Amino acid sequence: MITLQFIPYSDIENLTPEKRIKKLLDVVKEDRILLLEGRLAKEEEAGLIRTTMEAINGRFKGIEISVVSSNSKGHGLLKKIQKNIVELLSGPRSGITIIGPATIVKEIKKDPDKIQLLTVEAKRNGLNGKRKRRK
């Protein structure tokens, strides 16, 4: 079973970058795919990757991350200015960030019309989901 957890940007906006990264990573370490409203700052994204690399062990194999944002192509100058002002006032809320454990998420593909989240079948007790028969 795959569990998706949505976190609105308002849940993390008042946290320090370190606490923000910890909160997001804690969710992913519970084998959940995280859907975050908005996006992290470039420095926070780098910090998330750095913290993830330090946390890799036998159980936690890392993360897959992708940011999907609205396409501004084709919008007029006024719309672009409006979008920039909104982001300045309310933070980087346009788009969505997807973060998942590398043991579950194989790849995240995005194109203008859809997002494809390719997952790996979870292994249970080394039996690939098959139950042992008792004799």
Structural domains in the chain, CATH included, are 3-119 (3.30.950)
pLDDT digits (tens, 9 = 90+) for 88-119: 776 666 788 999 999 999 888 877 667 888 88
- As a whole-number percent, the residues of the chain with pLDDT over 90 amount to 44
Looking at residue 73, what is its pLDDT?
Answer: 59
| DSSP element (H, E) containing 50 | helix 42-55
Mean pLDDT of 63-82: 76
Q: What is the pLDDT of residues 4-26, one digit of tens each?
A: 999 998 899 899 999 999 999 99
Cα→Cα distances 98→75, 123, 124, Å: 25, 22, 24
Among 13, 20, 5, 37, smallest CA distance to 101 is for 5
Between residues 33 and 70, the one the model is more confident about: 33
